[in-house]
Structure 1
Amino acid sequence: MPTENSERLLVAIQHPAHVHFYRHAIRELEDDHEISIVVRDSEVATDLLDAYGFEYEVIGRSGSGLRLIASQALYEAKMLRRAREFQPDVMSAIGGSAVAHVARAVGAKSVVFTDTEHATLTNRLMAPFADEIWTPECFHADFGDKQVRYPGYHELAYLHPDRFTPDESIRNDVGLEEDDRYVVLRLVSWEASHDAGAGGIDDVGDVVDRLEATGATVLITAEGDLPARVRDRQVDIEPHRMHDLLAGATLFVGEGATMAAESAVLGTPAVYVNTLRMGYTDELEARYGLLYNCQGAFRHRMAIQTAESILSGEEGRDWADARARLLEEKVDTTTVIHNALTGNGFD
């Protein structure tokens, strides 16, 4: 149990994936640390925090355009108020510009994680103030002496086999038979600041038609509204069950890099359809062959052709072998987080 002299840790959550990233490390640390979780209002993020039994405080809302500036200022002000109350020794977040600023103001150490090179504004606002910036080895950008590189991915903090065992009952929950092949199709909202100017799938109906023609069932997870003719393919499951769904899929096709990487590290081949690419999507393709980057003007057609090739067996790759090699070469990222937050570094 934490004592009066226990180190105090404040963790900021701004996206549902951040809940997964930190949750195992928080559980390991909470026995001898005072921990405060603050969250930027997100229904999925708070649902996940509730599902995993965490206490938290909502301190801000997301925005876009001019509202983004105002919402960020309010978010940092509320975080500063909470930090002054809690008096943390260490503050941490993914992206973490607010954490870096507030930690400097209250005399705490800031430990920031990032794997997103094209989040240029956030990175510029964060880097001068952060004490430590932890990135995967494959991260393209260089933050200088404060950067710590490790052999892993964010997704291995919660999908490493030491942390996650798929629940195969998900098939029954979504109305599938044991032998049914299915594809998870992910569509994003494009409202995130770092998605500005990016693009993905041109015609979701076309994708569904072509994939279903191979005999596979298409299950859609989407952040926005779907066209009426494919709305019945939208899957309705609790957010914390999504990784069970990805683990059992034959293929993932989608616009979200995080979910594409999640699929890849689970051994499900991923077709990533987005004009944006990162060090980890590049490495998952070039080194392990578990992800296919589809960019440029012909990304939609390229994605469909790649998906059809995988579903037909033309690719002829051993996905389980590729995943085994990945797991041999990469670490359980929760151990990285734990060491970073406790000042033990990474060797």
Structure 2
Amino acid sequence: MITIQHPGHVHFFRNPIAELNARGHDVHVFARESGVAVRLLEAYDIDHEVVAGDADSLASLAAVQATYELRLLRRARRLDPDVITAIGGVAAAHVASLTGATSLVFYDTEHATLITTLGYPFADVIATPACYRDDIGPKQVTYPGYHELAYLHPERFTPDSTVLEEVGLAPEESFAVVRLSSWDASHDVGHGGFDDPQAVVDRLEDAGLQVLLTAEGEPPDALASYRFETSPTRLHDLLADADVVLSEGATTAAEAAVLGTPAVYVNPLSLGYTTELEAEYGLLFGYDGDARHARGLDKAVSVVEEPADTWRRRRDRLLAERIDVTDYVVRQLETLAQTRPAGRSIPAADRGH
């Protein structure tokens, strides 16, 4: 069983789902409606069942989560899965602990303490990137990669430049993608990114860049014309062709970076993977503090002046040192499923690494 709560989870699991199906495994996907997650499942033609709605506020999250877990529990008791897996994995870990399945939780967000507090104690195996900062203990296994390399590794993804025509750009035009966050996730409370989105657009246009805006929720009315229309499955094609990406969200910044597009990440919350992409590979540039807006814009303008080969070489080194994460996900799931005695959890010493 695979559980989906966020669009990024669809991207992470879509290639493992295809691989597992091709290998003859029974794969069941369950989702909680959240943003464009269900649209992505449909676009990728992934069989799934939506078992709960979206939470429209932090106050409603507990009720939605309870409904989600109860319905997942009923499905798990009927299906009797060997492994239940998820990103974050609160529901997956809880349901697995009640059904005798093994839970495999993938996670890369250290500051999401609500999720880790509710999920980690119940999880059997927790798989994190090697750059993850926290030591979780004997449940933890690590791998040299990032979530984004489950779907953007060149073995899994080839950019399609025809997306430029879809968004009204000519191939020779320089452009920036700007990603604004909604700041309503449980781990975003009290934080923020750019001071003024209009100032971001103005500065980039002054530097000769076309601006394409993507946002969680609605951007300011004055910026509505900068939003682009394309399938949610085409965003990564756009990130690959951009000259620079400015993002308040860590995932979009990391996606750009692993594609070889310099990413400016304006957010006070750093993570192990954003730090590594900056310190080790120079493909991401993080800014926080009072001057984050101005410093981030200065960097965005300066990186566009760098030769394109700079980013290509840095990405080549990253790919030489980091793995195709889909292979790792499939191997972990198969190992846990095949070594688990029926109806029993796996002792820590017997877990696959």
**1:308 positional shift:** 1.5
Question: For the residues of structure 2 that align with 1:82 and 1:188, how far apart are their CA atoms?
Answer: 33
Query: Which position in structure 2 is the counterpart of 1:318?
Result: 310
Q: Say which of 43, 46, 68 aligns to 1:54.
A: 46
Choose the corresponding residue for 1:12, options 3, 22, 44.
3
TM value normalised by structure 2? 0.93
Q: Is the 8 A contact 2:335 2:352 kept in 1?
A: no
Q: Cα 1:284–1:215, aligned 2, differ >3 Å: closer, same or farther? A: same
Higher mean C-alpha displacement, 122-131 vs 204-213 = 122-131
| Alpha-carbon shift at residue 62 of structure 1 (Å) | 3.1
Runs of 4+ displaced beyond 4 Å: 344-347
> 264-273 or 22-31: which moved more?
22-31
Q: In the TM superposition, what is the alpha-carbon distance from 1:316 to its structure 2 partner?
A: 8.8
| Structure 1 gaps, min length 5 | 1-9
Corresponding position of 1:248: 241
- Cα distance in structure 1, aligned partners of 2:235 and 2:179: 11
The one-letter amino acid paired with 2:99 is V
Deviation at 1:42, TM superposition (A): 2.3
Name the structure 1 match of 2:76. Answer: 83
Q: For residue 30 of structure 2, what is the amino acid of its counterpart?
A: V
Partner of 2:257: 264
Q: Which residue of 1 aligns with 2:19?
A: 28
- Partner Cα separation in structure 1 for residue 197 and residue 325 of structure 2: 34
Between the aligned partners of 1:15 and 1:135, the Cα distance in structure 2 is 18
CA spacing shift, 1:136–1:179, aligned 2, 3 Å: same
Partner letter of residue 18 of structure 1?
A: H
Cα pair 2:6 2:35 within 8 Å, conserved: no
The structural deviation recorded for 1:275 is: 1.1
* Aligned match of 2:333: 341
Q: Which amino acid aligns with 2:9?
A: H
Task: Within 5 Å, give how 1:100-249 maps onto structure 2.
Answer: 100-249=93-242
Aligned residue among 283, 286, 290 for 2:283: 290
Deviation at 1:226, TM superposition (A): 1.7
Q: Which runs of 5+ in 2 are unaligned?
A: 337-350
Percent identity of the aligned residues? 51
* Aligned residue number for residue 339 of structure 2: none
Residue 347 of structure 2 corresponds to which residue in structure 1?
none
**Larger displacement relative to structure 2 (271-280 or 221-230):** 221-230
- Tell me, in whole angstroms, the C-alpha distance in 2 between the residues paired with 1:150 and 1:39: 26
How far the C-alpha of 1:99 sits from its partner, in A, is: 0.5
SS of the residue corresponding to residue 127 of structure 2 reads strand
May I ask how many residue pairs the two structures share in their alignment? 337
Match of 1:327 among 319, 327, 331: 319
Change (3 A) 1:55 1:201: same
User: What is the Cα deviation at residue 299 of structure 1?
Assistant: 0.9
Which position in structure 2 is the counterpart of 1:6? none
Shift of 1:311: 2.3
TM-score scaled by structure 1?
A: 0.94
Shift of residue 61, structure 1, vs aligned partner: 2.5
The offset of 1:97, in angstroms, is 1.0
SS at match of 1:110: strand
CA shift, 1:55, in A, is 1.0
Aligned-residue offset at 1:229: 2.0
